[in-house]
């Protein structure tokens, strides 16, 4: 398996970790009875939990784009050392994005987000 595909798997794992973080955060805030219920009404989240939810949503949105690009590059036989490097940069940037988003560090969050977007463009450039 190529490094690009391993990084795709790592991105999926990060997405799962963020989903679980939000789920357990909500469970902690709202109690076991709410967690086992139908969630007809979801209490508003605040602070770090709200930021974690937004980070999770952002990761979900970006995972689809990264997955498409990595899979197309792989199927086209264009995966190479450069795409491997940029795939690793993407994953590191996404981990950084999640951490700084949850911590509430807005300017740094934007910078690492832009690095992850640059990584996707650089991987895509292998097709041309």
CATH no. for residue 29? 1.20.120.550
How does pLDDT run across 56-94, given as a tens digit for each residue? 999 999 999 999 999 999 999 999 999 999 999 999 999
Q: Which residue has the higher pLDDT, 46 or 33?
A: 46
| Domain of residue 51, residue span | 3-127
CB 42 within 8 A of CB 127: no
Tell me, what's the pLDDT at 44? 84
Q: How far apart are CA 20 and CA 97, in angstroms?
A: 17
4 pLDDT band, cuts 50/70/90, is very high
Place of tokens 């981990």: 95
Number of domains in the chain: 1
50 pLDDT band, cuts 50/70/90, is very high
How does pLDDT run across 20-38, given as a tens digit for each residue? 999 999 888 877 777 777 8
- For the chain, how long is the longest CA-to-CA vector? 54
> What single-letter DSSP state applies at residue 76?
T
Tell me, what's the pLDDT at 43? 79
């Amino acid at each position: 398996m190529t490094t690009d595909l391993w990084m795709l798997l790592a991105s999926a794992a990060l997405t799962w970790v963020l989903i679980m973080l939000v789920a357990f955060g909500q469970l902690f805030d709202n109690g076991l009875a709410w967690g086992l219920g139908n969630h007809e009404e979801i209490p508003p989240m605040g602070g770090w939990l709200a930021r974690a939810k937004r980070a999770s949503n952002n990761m979900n949105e970006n995972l689809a784009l990264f997955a498409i690009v990595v899979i197309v590059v792989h199927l086209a036989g264009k995966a190479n050392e450069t795409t491997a490097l940029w795939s690793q940069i993407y994953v590191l940037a996404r981990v950084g994005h999640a951490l700084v988003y949850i911590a509430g560090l807005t300017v740094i969050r934007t910078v690492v987000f832009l690095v992850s977007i640059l990584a996707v463009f650089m991987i895509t450039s292998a097709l041309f």
